[in-house]
Amino acid sequence: MTKRFIGFDLGAESGRCIVGTLSDGNLKLEEVHRFTTHTVRFHGGFHWDILAIAEEMLKGLVSARKSHGPDFEGIGVDTWGVDYVLVDPDGRVLGYPYHYRDDRTDTIMPEAFAVVPKEALYGKTGIQFMQFNTVFQLLAEKKRRLSLLDPAGAMLLIPDFFNFMFSGVMKSEYTIASTTGLIDPAKREWSWELIDKFGIGRHIFPGIVEPGTILGPLLPGIASRTGLNPGIPVIATACHDTASAVASVPASEGSWSFLSSGTWSLMGVELQKPVLSPAAMKYNFTNEGGVNGTIRFLKNLAGLWPVQECRRSWMEEKKEFSYMQLSGLAREEGFAGAWVDLADPRFLKAGEMPQKIMGCVRETGGETKTGPGWIVRVVLESLAFSYRKTIREIEEVTGVRIERLHAVGGGIQNELLAQFAADATGLTVYAGPVEGTIVGNLGVQAVARGIVSGYQEWRKIVSGSFDLNVYNPRETAYFDANEKKYERILNRN
């Protein structure tokens, strides 16, 4: 039988509406609408233009109906984590939601640790300390003279908001809620103790639901506007994009690590329970929600954001490069012999990225070049070193020897980085599917509807539907020889 689903996958630069068609155990994808995930700078703040994004999503539903008719098995949304929309008790949006790269949380973490010490906070949540975690965003909002938390009826994380828009149901799906830094990973529920200690009103936190929960039918108003059948179920899929990506990994046995590669690199392992040990905190790992009751024990790494920002900077200088051209220039450059700590806070913010990279190299005594190929090479080699370090840390903390690396997401189209990942880690890298996030999104929907029996069956479907590229280690000696130099750069920071 042929079954069709609508999936929305929203990232930092763009969003897509995808129709997934499952027929005879094979999945095919069709992108029916692509759009910018609009941002706006207003009154000194950096925000998401959430209603402009919502309008694009409605256009996506119209395009899906025009391409495939009014009937689908489900609609699901996945997005980045941590950011949220505040709505009043009547469901009206309160202001532009903040972008996680906004400056308001730059100094908030020490204030939070004065209320709940760092060790106690990690012991309760097991979440990696990053200044843009939702808990720190909420504390920054709480400090404002006119805080929008006061009139708020609910805090809806970005995919939860769109699920509400489609279904009228306010719930927080667990995988996205786990990015807030306010979840008890053992109970898979809000940590009310922390919420109370931070003085945040309990009433704004919606009830938690697991990935694969059917929220309800598409609202009649949305159905009427888009021409879709109002009986289509809106499904809280694995709403955090990394959780969806991991659900798509075509692995069945043995000890493997995942790498979700894109603007961010998310690297970790799938576990049955959280790891809240001092070693996990020391290495700043995070315990986020996964499908089927699992925990994604992982680390957020810089990813391809610096390359994206470099390309944007060069475009402003009228130097046009495609990502493929930049990768080609980096390949021609040869080994960079210079690296940077991509976790340096200066790389978090947009602007002047080539200058920041060259400045960091000079600060650590390295020789710099100005060509785009060399700069991109520095980023890619530095990223590969961070993969190497993270794999070693995962093995130390979990006691599990990693046998192979499964990479999914748009970043795997950068074949040079995929090869570096193999070289730096010493692991064979199985790259695919490129559309890992949306594939996982659709898989959770298919399992929720009973069309697929479970996630092991879904991973077999993924394996049979998409080709994988395999990268074996080749230049491990380069990363072996320079590991101590790279570590000195990290220690300096």
Same domain? 255 vs 228: no
Catalytic residue ranges: 241
What pLDDT does 15 receive?
Answer: 97
- Is 275 a domain residue? yes
Give the C-alpha separation, 251 to 232, whole Å. Answer: 31
Same domain? 480 vs 401: yes
**212 and 258 in contact (C-beta within 8 Å)?**
no
List the CATH number of the domain containing 115: 3.30.420.40
Which class for 370: exposed (0-12), middle (13-18), buried (19 or more C-beta within 10 A)? Answer: exposed
Same domain? 273 vs 409: yes
Same domain? 73 vs 189: yes
Give the C-alpha separation, 463 to 432, whole Å. Answer: 9
CA proximity to 383, closest of 419, 410, 356, 345 = 419
- Is 437 a domain residue? no
Residue that is last in its domain, among 211, 239, 267: 239
- Where b means 16+ CB within 10 Å and e means fewer, 414-438 reads bebbbbbbbbbbebebbbbbbbbbb
What pLDDT does 492 receive?
Answer: 85
433: preceding bond cis by omega (within 30 degrees): yes
Residue that is last in its domain, among 209, 239, 269: 239
Both tokens of 29, joined, read 């994808």
Same domain? 362 vs 225: no
Same domain? 274 vs 199: no
For 482, the domain range is 241-432+468-493
- Is 315 a domain residue? yes
Same domain? 271 vs 294: yes
Domain count, the chain: 2
Please report where in the chains the tokens 């599917």 appear, as a residue: 433
Same domain? 377 vs 229: no
Same domain? 233 vs 92: yes
- Is 7 a domain residue? yes
Same domain? 235 vs 245: no
Q: Which residues contact 406 (CB under 8 A, 6 or more apart)?
A: 249, 250, 251, 256, 257, 258, 259, 429, 430
What pLDDT does 403 receive?
Answer: 97
- Is 442 a domain residue? no
Same domain? 135 vs 176: yes
- Is 493 a domain residue? yes
Both tokens of 386, joined, read 């961070």
- Is 441 a domain residue? no
CA proximity to 339, closest of 479, 181, 135 = 479
Compute the C-alpha angle 209/207/80, nearest 5°.
65
- Is 453 a domain residue? no
Give the C-alpha separation, 268 to 255, whole Å. Answer: 11
| Rounded average pLDDT per 10-residue block, the chain, 493 residues | 97 95 97 98 95 98 98 98 98 97 96 98 96 98 96 98 98 98 97 98 98 98 98 98 97 91 95 96 97 97 95 96 97 96 93 96 91 97 98 97 96 97 98 97 98 96 96 98 96 83
Same domain? 111 vs 148: yes
Residue that is last in its domain, among 173, 205, 239: 239
